[in-house]
Amino acid sequence: MSLSDLELITCVVTEDDRAAFGELVRKHQSAVRAFLRQLTRGDAAWADDLAQETFILAYRKLRDFRGEAAFSSWLLGIAHNQFRNARRRQRETPHETVPEAPDDHEPSPADKTALHQDLSAAVARLSAHEQTALHVCYQQGLSHGEAAEVLGWPVGTVKTHLARSKEKLRQLLAAWKPLT
């Protein structure tokens, strides 16, 4: 029987149970890494470094987790802060540049279909904030309120980015409208 996130967190906090923390990492690594890959525009290596830092920081701060939000949302909030801090550091040291849009991420099976390829290409044409809003709300499955909490944006901004990005996607994918 698998333990819930809260039960695993209790094991880590009260007994420093590393196996329990390993289980938490295994459960949430995909979401955190996917979120960071989205933020880093597909730079898998950088995203994984940030994901590692995210989990280490989460381990250190686990006692502060109050359970008011879902653990996954709490983790994504830490990941977003890690990304913003890293980007700020890179701006301060211009010799280390942020990759613009590397294509070194592994193609997913979904990319194999033409529609998903077109969708991915269309999403890539959106602004970074629009892509982030789409990712957290649709791929991470967060509500508008949770997304606002994770990203540190007002709820209205999340909704605006979503509406704008969906409108752009509909225009970019208009060719997929069936001929009538």
Cα pseudo-dihedral 150, 16, 4, 61, rounded to 10: -10
Joined together, the tokens standing for residue 97 give 């540049």
Question: Residue from 68, 94, 95, 109 that binds another protein (CB under 8 A)?
Answer: 109
Burial class (CB in 10 A: 0-12, 13-18, 19+), 29: middle
In the region spanning residues 68 to 87, those forming contacts with another protein, defined by CB under 8 A, are none
Least separation in angstroms between CB 98 and another protein: 21
- Binding segment for another protein (CB under 8 A), chosen from 75-83, 90-98, 133-141, 153-161, is 133-141
User: Looking at 24-32, 69-77, 93-101, 151-159, which segment touches another protein (CB under 8 A)?
Assistant: 24-32
120 in contact with another protein (CB under 8 A): yes
Per CB under 8 A, 55 contacts another protein: yes
Rounded to whole angstroms, the Cα distance separating 103 from 89 reads 23
Q: Kindly tell me which residue out of 4, 26, 68, 104 binds another protein, with binding defined by CB under 8 A.
A: 26
Choosing from 87, 129, 144, 166, the residue that interacts with another protein (CB under 8 A) is: 166
Residue 44: CB partners within 8 Å, gap ≥ 6? 37, 104, 105, 106
Using CB under 8 A as the binding rule, whether residue 163 contacts another protein is answered as: no
Residues that bind another protein (CB under 8 A): 10, 13-14, 16, 18, 21-22, 25-26, 29-30, 33-34, 37, 48, 51-52, 55-56, 59-60, 63, 108-110, 114-116, 119-120, 123, 134, 138-139, 141, 166, 169-170, 173-174, 176-178
